[in-house]
């Protein structure tokens, strides 16, 4: 994958920094379609112009992977938007302290935990994406890397992206 193909999938916004289109990735049958599925970090600081950019890109469904404490502290700008279907589907049902048995788990341990213990939430996210009626689907967490990354990895694996 070239640097330009990665950059062309990145959506530049003022209020979010990790927003990308999952289209344009190579599979055995061609490329994933652009403008269908997007991943992002937190959206609470999006400007009106940023929100319009996402609408113009075709986003019509937003799935918030954060738990209720995160959402309460930094509400999603699309939560009450009449043009966007908004779903709260927390991967973790409560805040995760990051400490288990007296130590801080490493990323592989956290990812195993998500895959092993958060299956119901993951299934709900994937079903919501599959059932989206029209327009693009954007899913996000706070930084757009761990919870969002797991969902992205599963989706891309399903369609044959290395």
Establish whether 141 is a catalytic residue. yes
Would you call 60 helix, strand, or coil by DSSP?
A: strand
Q: Among residues 141, 150, 151, 155, which one is catalytic? A: 141
What lies within 8 Å, CB to CB, of 35 at 6+ separation is 21, 23, 57, 58, 136
| Adjacent-strand bridge partners of 103 | 100
What lies within 8 Å, CB to CB, of 127 at 6+ separation is none
Find out whether 40 and 139 touch, Cβ atoms under 8 Å. yes
Closest CA to 143 of 16, 11, 57: 16
Dist CA 124 CA 60 (whole Å): 18
Could you give the count of Cα atoms lying within 13 Å of 121 in the half-sphere of its Cβ?
Answer: 24
Catalytic sites, residue numbers: 141
């Amino acid at each position: 994958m070239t640097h330009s193909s990665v950059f062309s999938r990145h959506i530049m916004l003022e209020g979010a920094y990790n927003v990308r289109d999952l289209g344009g990735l190579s599979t055995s049958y061609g490329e994933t379609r652009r403008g269908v599925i997007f991943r992002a970090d937190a959206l609470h600081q999006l400007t009106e112009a940023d929100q319009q950019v996402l609408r113009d890109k075709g986003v019509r469904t937003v799935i918030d992977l954060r738990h209720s404490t995160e959402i309460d502290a930094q509400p999603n700008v699309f939560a009450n938007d009449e043009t966007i279907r908004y779903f709260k589907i927390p991967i973790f049902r409560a805040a995760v302290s990051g400490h288990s048995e007296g130590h801080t788990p490493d990323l592989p341990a956290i990812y195993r935990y998500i895959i092993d213990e958060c299956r119901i939430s993951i299934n709900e996210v994937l079903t919501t994406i599959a059932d989206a009626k029209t327009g693009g689907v954007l899913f996000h967490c706070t930084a757009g890397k761990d919870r969002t990354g797991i969902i992205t990895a599963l989706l891309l694996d399903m369609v044959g992206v290395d």
